[in-house]
Amino acid sequence: MTERPFAAEMPWPDFHARMKDGKTPILIPLGSMEQHGHHMPLHVDVLLPTEFARRVAARVDGLVAPSFTYGYKSQQKCGGGNHMPGTVSLEGQTLVHQLRDVIKEFARHGGRNFAIVNGHYENSWFINEAVDLALRELRWDGVTDVKIVVLSYWDFVNQETIDKIYPDGFPGWAVEHGGVLETSLMLALYPDLVQLQRAVDHPAATFPPYDVYPVKPEWTPSSGTLSSPKNASREKGELMLRICTDGIVQALQDEFSISPGARAAA
């Protein structure tokens, strides 16, 4: 089992050997460059799905494609808003076309099983559109056997884990931006990039049931986080890391008909 299953780190003959029979799952991490409060770097949404993809790929004998390091525009009610300093985003159609192109290119090299591993909520519908366009255009080229699993890692945190992580009540994923989930995962994986002493403790943000454009900056807590990272810990991060990795591995084994023992036997 390789610990660095990154497609772009391989010489081409090795890449070709892995791609040509179409069986190797290709994992494509998608993130964003987005402010995550005073205590975390701008690339949280890239670092986390890339590491999930790496761990999952090692267990399903997959390859990790280069990560998308920019994402769709941050939205105020789930990412603080695109007006915040540090947030650098793509327009929707740019993201759609880039992802569509990358899927088609990996398919041209033989890839048939794909997993989009999302780490930035705002990318969600643009991923769906890119996947739909890629499948449609591949179909026009006579390629009809491509299957694409689309997932966001946090959706694999089950209720039992939520109860453990948020004993005082779960604020909801939308306001988790820079909060307990992401901070705990960063503490587990990249503690040197977290400055917990700079974290701002504040009540979870509340918003009216509609959006306004241009945004009203006063709606976003001044820290940039939408809920407090105060209760984050390395232990919580390790728990979610395990739960989500296991869940994603299971999903890919099911969807790509990979038998769980295949790796051990290989």
Kindly state whether residue 79 participates in binding Mn ion, applying the rule CB under 5 A. yes
Using the minimum distance from each CB to Zn ion, give the nearer residue, 44 or 188: 44
Gap between the Cα atoms of 115 and 146, Å rounded = 11
Query: Of residues 174-203, which lie at the interface with Zn ion (CB under 5 A)?
Result: none
- Residues pairing with 90 in the sheet: 72
**Given the residues 34, 43, 51, 176, the one annotated as active site:** 34
Per CB under 5 A, the list member of 70, 120, 151, 221 interacting with Mn ion is 120
DSSP-based three-state secondary structure for 33:
strand
**Given the residues 36, 39, 43, 176, the one annotated as active site:** 36
Gap between the Cα atoms of 60 and 262, Å rounded = 8
Is 202 designated active site? no
Is 34 designated active site? yes
Quickly list DSSP for 160-176: HHHHHH-TT----GGGG
Kindly state whether residue 178 participates in binding Mn ion, applying the rule CB under 5 A. no
Number of residues that bind Zn ion (CB under 5 A): 2
Shortest reach from residue 121's CB to Zn ion, in Å: 8
Question: 220 contacts which partner out of Mn ion, Zn ion, none, CB within 5 to 8 A by kind?
Answer: none
Only one residue has tokens 């004993």, namely: 167
Binding track over 35-74 against Mn ion, x by CB under 5 A: ----------x-----------------------------
Kindly state whether residue 45 participates in binding Zn ion, applying the rule CB under 5 A. yes
Closest residue by Cα to residue 208 from 222, 195, 193, 218: 218
Q: Is there a contact between 207 and 77 (Cβ–Cβ < 8 Å)? A: yes
Residue closest to Zn ion when measured from CB atoms: 45
Is 122 designated active site? yes
Gap between the Cα atoms of 199 and 163, Å rounded = 23
Is 218 designated active site? no
**Given the residues 39, 43, 51, 177, the one annotated as active site:** 177
How far is Cα of residue 13 from the mean position of the Cα atoms in its chain? 29
Question: 50 contacts which partner out of Zn ion, Mn ion, none, CB within 5 to 8 A by kind?
Answer: none
Is 21 designated active site? no
DSSP element (H, E) containing 55: helix 44-60
Closest residue by Cα to residue 205 from 190, 189, 184, 225: 225
Shortest reach from residue 10's CB to Mn ion, in Å: 29
Helix axes 44-60, 234-255, angle to 10 degrees: 50
Is 201 designated active site? no
Contacts with Mn ion by CB under 5 A lie at: 32, 34, 45, 79, 120
Which residues are known catalytic residues?
Answer: 34, 36, 45, 120, 122, 177, 182
